[in-house]
Amino acid sequence: MTAYVARRVLLLPLVAFGVTLLIFALLQFLSPAERAALFVTDPRQLQHIDAIIRKYGLDQPIYVQYWTWVKQLARGDLGWSQVARMRTTQAIGSFFPATLELTIYMIVPIILIGLWLGTTAAVNKDRFVDHFSRFFAISLRGLPSFVWGLIILMIFYGRLNWFPPGRLSLEANLFVHSGEFKVYTHLMTVDALLNGQFWIFLDALRHMAGPILTLVLVEMALLVRITRSSMLEVLRQDYVRTARAKGLDEPVVIGKHARRNALIPVITLSSLLFVGLLGGVVLAETIFNFPGIGKWGATAAVQLDIPGVAGFGMFVAFLTVLGNLAADILYAAVDPRIRLQ
Partner 1 sequence: MNLKRQLLRLLVFTLAIALVGIPGSAQGQQPIKNPDTLIIQIFGDWDSLDPAWQYDTSSAEVVNWHLYESLIFFRGGRTDLYDPMLATEVPSIANGGISKDGRTYTFKIRQGVKFHDGSVMTPEDVKYSLMRFALMDRDGGPSWILLAPILGFEIQTTRDDKGNFIPSTWDRLNQQIQVKGNTVSVTLKRPYGPFLNIMAQWSMVVSKKFVVQNGGWNGAKATAAKYNNPETNEKTELFTKGGGTGPFRLESWDRANRIVTLVRNDNYWRAPAKLKRVVLQSVDEFGPRRLALQNGDADEIEIGGRVNQPAVTGIPGVRIVDDLAQLLNSPALFMNFNINPEGNPDIGSGRLDGNGIPPNFFSDIHVRRAMAYLFDRDRFIQEAFRGKGRLANGPIPYGMLGYNPKGKWYEVSRDKAIAEFREAFGGQVWERGFKFTVLFNTGNLNRQTGSQMLKEAVESLNPKFKVDTRGVTWSSYLGQLTANKLSMFFIGWSADYADPDNFTIPFMHSTGTFSSHQGYKNPEVDKLIEQAAQETDNAKRQAMYFRLQEIAYTDIPTIYIVYPVSLTVMRTWVKGWYNNPIYPSVHGYFYVMYKG
Q: How far apart are CA 219 and CA 267, in angstroms?
A: 14
> Which residue in 113, 150, 232, 332 binds partner 1 (CB under 8 A)?
150
In whole angstroms, the minimum distance from the beta carbon of 176 to partner 1 comes to 9
Among 114, 118, 164, 313, binds partner 1 (CB under 8 A): 164
Interaction between residue 31 and partner 1 (CB under 8 A): yes
Cα(67)–Cα(55) distance, integer angstroms: 17
Side chain identity at residue 163, one-letter code: F
Nearer to partner 1, 189 or 320 (CB): 189
Identify the residue among 15, 40, 322, 327 touching partner 1 (CB under 8 A). Answer: 40
Q: Which of 278, 272, 284, 318 is nearest to 297 (CA)?
A: 278
Q: Which stretch binds partner 1 (CB under 8 A): 76-84, 193-201, 236-244, 315-323?
A: 76-84
> How many chain residues interact with partner 1 (CB under 8 A)?
61
By CB under 8 A, tell whether 27 contacts partner 1. Answer: no
Give yes or no for residue 62 binding partner 1 (CB under 8 A): no
The nearest distance, CB 155 to partner 1, in angstroms, is 6
Shortest separation between residue 12's beta carbon and partner 1, angstroms: 26
Rule CB under 8 A: is residue 159 a binding residue for partner 1?
Answer: yes
Q: Least separation, in Å, of the C-beta of 212 and partner 1?
A: 16
